Structure 1
Amino acid sequence: MASDTAQQAPTAPAAPARALLPLILPALLVGVGSSLLFLGVSEAAEALQHVLWRNLPDALGVGRYSVLWMLVVLTATGVAVGLVVWKVPGHAGPDPATLGLAAAPMPPVVLPGLLLATALMLAGGPSLGPENPIIAVNVGLAFWLGGRLAPRMPGGLWAALAEAATIGALFGTPVAAALVISEALAGRQLRGLLWDNVFGPLVAAGAGALTTTLVAHPTFDLQLPAFGRPGWGDLLSALVVASLAAVLGMCAVYAFPYVHGAFRRLGHPMPALTLGGLVLGLLGALGGHLTLFKGLDEVAELARDPEGRSAGAFVGMAVVKLAALLVAASCGFRGGRIFPAVFVGAAFGLGAHTLVPAVHPALGVATGVLGMLLAVTRQGWVSLFTAAVLVSSPEILALLCLASLPAWLLVTGRPQMQLRADGTPVR
C-alpha cells in the first residue's frame, strides 16, 4: 500500500542543467563579495575597538575596562550611533527590533549609514552581533547591482544568493546557510526539486564560507574537554539544561516589547541610544568586560577555564549578558542577536556544569546554547548547528536532537524576539 501511494504521488520535475549553470557565476560573485564586505566591516570595527579599548585608555592612564571607561565609551557609542541614525541619509534603516535574519532589499541610500552604525556598535561594546545588518547590506547591494547588471534574473534570486552567502561567511561553512534555506523553503510550493531551489544559494554560501576561511581562518570550536560515550545521565542533563536555558531566554523575549516601548517613548534616536549606551555601561560594570561586545571571542575565553568560576558567577554573567542583549536590541543599536545569545547559553551551561559536576562542560555549553538560541532566534536548524560546532563532538549530536524537543515545545507558538511596526511581538 505504501509503495503504491509513493508511486502515485506526483513528483516535481527536475530543472535541466542548462537552467542551473547560469546561476554559478552570479552566485560565486555574490558569495565572494558578501564575504569580503563582512570581513572588511569586521576588520574596521576591530581596529576601532583597539583604539577605544586599548590605545586611548592607556594614553589617558585609565584602566581599559574600569567602570569609568566602560560608562564613557558605551555612552559615547550610543551618542555616535544616535547621530548616524538621526543625521545620515536613510537613518541606518528601519527599527532593528522589527528585523530578523531574512531581510527585504533596502534602498542604496540606507546602506552606508547602516554599515557605519554597525561598525561603531561592534567597536563600542554593545551586546549585538553583525549578522542582521550585514545580511541586510549584502541583500541590498546584490539586489541593486544585480538588477542593473543582469536585469533578466529575478530580484528575489539576488536576495536569496546574498542572504545565503552572508550566512556562509559568518559561520565559515555553507552548511548553516543550507539549513536556513531549507527551513525557509519548508511549507512553500516549490518549483522543481528542493536541491534545484537551493543550488544557487548553496554555491553562494560555499563561496562566501571559503573566502572567509581562506582570509580570516575562523573557528567556532571552543576546545572544551572531549565528550565520550553518552549515558542516561547525560540525556537527563541535556534535557534539563536546554529547557532551563530556553526558559531563561523566553524571559528576555517576553520583556522585549516592554523595554523597546520604554525607549520608543523617548521619541528620538539620540536620547534612546544615549540612554541605552549608559545602561549598557552600567551592565558592563556589573558583569565585567567579558559581557561586552558580540560575545564570540569572550565565550572562547570563558571556555578556556570551565572550572575557573563559581556557578553563581557563570549564571550571573549569563543574566547580565542577556539583559545587555535586551537593552541593545531595544534602544536602537544595529545588530543581530545570535552571537550574544551564544555567550549567554555557554555561560549558563558552564554554570550548570559547575553546580552539578556530572554535567559534562561540553554538554552543558552545547545544550545551553541550543536552548537559548531556540528562544531568541526561533531558528531550529541554526540553533542545532551552532550548538554542535562549538564542541565538535559527534557523540553529542543525538543528545542535542533530543534536547531540542522539550526546549522547542517551550518556545513554539509564543512571542518572538522580533516586533511588528506597531510594537507588538511577532508570533
Structure 2
Amino acid sequence: MAQDTEQHARTTRPATPARALLPLVLPSVVVGVAASLVYVGVSLAAEQLQHVLWGPLPDALGVGRYSVLWMFVMLVATGIAVGLVVWKVPGHAGPDPATTGLDAPVLPPAVLPGLVLATGLMLAGGPSLGPENPIIAVNVGLAAWLGGRFLRRTPGALWPLLAEAATIGALFGTPVAAALVISEALAGRPTRGLLWDNLFAPLTAAAVGAMTTTLLFRPAFDLGLPALGRPHWQDLLSALVIASAAALLGMCGVRAFPYVHSAFQRLRHPMLMLPAGGVVLGALAAVGGRLTLFKGLTELGVLAHDPEGWSAGQFAAMAVVKLAALLVAASCGFRGGRIFPAVFIGTALGLCAHALIPAVPPALGVSASVLGILLAITRQGWVSLFTAAVLVASPVIIALLCVASLPAWLLVTGRPQMQLRKDGTPVR
C-alpha cells in the first residue's frame, strides 16, 4: 500500500503555474538570439577567411588551391596560428578540448576571446573538427557572466542550460535536437514539476536560436538523397548490419583516442603539439583529398549529390582518413567538436555500403551509418537518432533507425567514450 502511494505521488507531480514560467520567456529569447548571433558570426567570419586562404591566396602564389603542397602548408600554418593563440592569448583558449563535450563548463570571460579566435582559425584552416563544442562553451560563458550581472534574480543555474539549448538549436536549425538533449540530461537530475515545465525555458531558447539561424544563415542538413519508399525486411537487416558496423568503426577510433592524445601530450608545448598535428593532418589530406578537410558539412553534401561518383574503396578510404584526421585534430589541441566530422564519416560509410550492395538505398545506408558512428563517438542517443533521421528527410526511416540503434547501443554502452579526464583516462 505504501509503495502504491509513493508511486502515485511520483506520477502526479504538481505542474508549475504559468506565472512562474512567464518570467523565463524574456531571458530565454535574449539568450536564443545572442547564441545564434555568436554562432553565425563565428561561422561567417571563418567562411570569409577560408575563402581567402583557399582561393585568392594560392592563386596569387601560383599554387593549386587544393594541391597536396597547399593543403600541407595550410594545415601546418593553421597549427602554428592556433598554437600561438593557445600559448599567448589570455586564458589559453580554454581547457584541453579532448576533455570537453557538449556539456560545457562555465569558463571565465577572459578565456572566451581566445577560444573564439582559435575556433575561427581552425574552421578556416581545414582541420577535421566542427564548431559545436567551443561555440557552446563560449555561449555558456557569456550567458552565465552577463545574466549574472544584469538579471540577478534569475537562478544562476538556468543560464548555462539556456545557452546550451539555444546553441544546439542554432547549430541544427531546429529546437527538436536541443529538446532531446536537454531531456536526456534532465533524466539524470532531480527536478520539480512536469518534464515540459522543465523544458519550457530551454525549448524557448532553442526555438529562438534555431529561427534566428534559419533567417540569417539558412543551414541545411537534408542531403537531398532519394527518399526511402515502403521498407522491406531486407532494409531492416541492412540497417541493423550497417549501424552496428559503423558503431564498431567508431569504437576503434574511441579506443585509439587516449593513445593518440598521449602521444601529442608528450610534446608538452602548444607550439609543438599543434604544428605537429598540422603535419600529420597534411599527410592525411594528401591521402584522403580535399573532401576530408574542414568540418565536413559542405563536403558531405558533395558526396550525397553524386552517390555513384566514387567507388566503394574510395568511400571507405575517405571514411577512414576522416576518422584518423578527427582523432589527430581532437588530440593535438585544435579547438572544435566531433559531431560534424562524424556525420561525414557516417555518410561516406553509408555510401560505401550502397556502392558495395546497390540494393541498399543510399538514404538507408547513410542514415544507419551516421546513427552508428554518432552513438560510438558522442554516446548521445537522441542526438544520434535525430541527426541520422534529419539527414535524409524520410519519415519511414525513423522506425528502422530505432530498431537499428538497439544492437549498436549494446556495442557501445559501458565502454570508453571519446572524451578524456584531466589525467588522460577515458570517460565511461
TM-score (norm 1): 0.98
Q: Which residue of 2 aligns with 1:300?
A: 301
Partners of 1:3 and 1:240 lie apart in 2 by: 43
Identity %: 76
Partners of 2:35 and 2:10 lie apart in 1 by: 40
Q: Match of 1:102, SS? A: coil
Partners of 2:130 and 2:8 lie apart in 1 by: 48
Q: Which residue of 2 aligns with 1:313?
A: 314
Q: Match of 1:386, SS? A: helix
Deviating 4+ runs (over 3 angstroms): 2-10
Return closer, same or farther for 1:295/1:10 CA change in 2, 3 Å cut-off.
Answer: closer
Q: Which residue of 2 aligns with 1:53?
A: 54
Give how far 1:299 is off: 0.2
Whether 1:72 aligns to 2:73 is yes
Give how far 1:217 is off: 1.5
Whether 1:225 aligns to 2:235 is no
Q: Which residue of 2 aligns with 1:29?
A: 30
Whether 1:285 aligns to 2:286 is yes
Partners of 1:201 and 1:9 lie apart in 2 by: 23
Return closer, same or farther for 1:9/1:141 CA change in 2, 3 Å cut-off.
Answer: closer
Whether 1:142 aligns to 2:123 is no
Q: Match of 1:13, SS? A: coil
Q: Which residue of 1 aligns with 2:415?
A: 414
Partners of 1:9 and 1:113 lie apart in 2 by: 46
Return closer, same or farther for 1:423/1:191 CA change in 2, 3 Å cut-off.
Answer: same
**1:34 is matched by which residue type in structure 2?**
A
Partners of 1:370 and 1:197 lie apart in 2 by: 27
Give how far 1:262 is off: 0.4
Give how far 1:154 is off: 1.6
Partners of 1:353 and 1:396 lie apart in 2 by: 16
The two structures, once aligned, show a CA RMSD in angstroms of 1.3
Partners of 1:55 and 1:33 lie apart in 2 by: 32
Whether 1:325 aligns to 2:335 is no
**What are the superposed Cα offsets for residues 129-185 of structure 1, whole Å, 9 maximum, x if unpaired?**
000000000000000000000112121100000000000000000000000000001
Note the 1:212-361 alignment, pairs <5 A: 212-361=213-362
Q: Which residue of 1 aligns with 2:156?
A: 155
Partners of 1:60 and 1:150 lie apart in 2 by: 52
**1:254 is matched by which residue type in structure 2?**
R
**What are the superposed Cα offsets for residues 275-324 of structure 1, whole Å, 9 maximum, x if unpaired?**
00111111011000000000000000000111111100001000000000
Partners of 1:156 and 1:5 lie apart in 2 by: 29
Whether 1:113 aligns to 2:118 is no
Note the 1:134-213 alignment, pairs <5 A: 134-213=135-214
**What are the superposed Cα offsets for residues 316-375 of structure 1, whole Å, 9 maximum, x if unpaired?**
000000000000000000000000000000000100110011111000000010000000
Return closer, same or farther for 1:113/1:390 CA change in 2, 3 Å cut-off.
Answer: same
Q: Match of 2:157, SS? A: helix
Q: Match of 1:426, SS? A: coil
Q: Which residue of 2 aligns with 1:102?
A: 103
Give how far 1:19 is off: 0.5
Partners of 1:107 and 1:196 lie apart in 2 by: 30
Q: Which residue of 2 aligns with 1:39?
A: 40
**1:262 is matched by which residue type in structure 2?**
A
Give how far 1:10 is off: 4.8
Partners of 2:216 and 2:48 lie apart in 1 by: 17
Give how far 1:188 is off: 2.0
Partners of 1:175 and 1:181 lie apart in 2 by: 10
Give how far 1:209 is off: 0.1
Aligned length: 426
Partners of 2:153 and 2:99 lie apart in 1 by: 31
Whether 1:20 aligns to 2:21 is yes
Partners of 1:399 and 1:252 lie apart in 2 by: 25
Q: Match of 1:12, SS? A: coil
User: Which segment drifts farther, 148-157 or 204-213?
Assistant: 148-157
**2:270 is matched by which residue type in structure 1?**
P
Partners of 2:215 and 2:407 lie apart in 1 by: 39
**1:373 is matched by which residue type in structure 2?**
L
**1:228 is matched by which residue type in structure 2?**
G
Partners of 1:280 and 1:380 lie apart in 2 by: 30
User: Which segment drifts farther, 152-161 or 142-151?
Assistant: 152-161
Partners of 2:212 and 2:10 lie apart in 1 by: 41
Q: Match of 2:137, SS? A: helix
**What are the superposed Cα offsets for residues 81-140 of structure 1, whole Å, 9 maximum, x if unpaired?**
000000000000000000000111100000000000000000000000000000000000
Return closer, same or farther for 1:27/1:361 CA change in 2, 3 Å cut-off.
Answer: same
Whether 1:371 aligns to 2:372 is yes
Q: Match of 1:155, SS? A: coil
Give how far 1:219 is off: 1.1
Give how far 1:7 is off: 5.0
Give how far 1:13 is off: 1.4
Partners of 2:152 and 2:6 lie apart in 1 by: 43
Whether 1:129 aligns to 2:119 is no
Return closer, same or farther for 1:23/1:283 CA change in 2, 3 Å cut-off.
Answer: same
Q: Match of 1:225, SS? A: coil
Q: Which residue of 1 aligns with 2:385?
A: 384
Return closer, same or farther for 1:9/1:39 CA change in 2, 3 Å cut-off.
Answer: closer
Partners of 1:131 and 1:8 lie apart in 2 by: 39
**What are the superposed Cα offsets for residues 389-416 of structure 1, whole Å, 9 maximum, x if unpaired?**
0000001110000000000000000000
Give how far 1:187 is off: 2.9
Give how far 1:5 is off: 9.0
Partners of 2:153 and 2:421 lie apart in 1 by: 33
Partners of 2:246 and 2:203 lie apart in 1 by: 32
Return closer, same or farther for 1:3/1:229 CA change in 2, 3 Å cut-off.
Answer: farther
**2:23 is matched by which residue type in structure 1?**
P
Q: Which residue of 2 aligns with 1:396?
A: 397
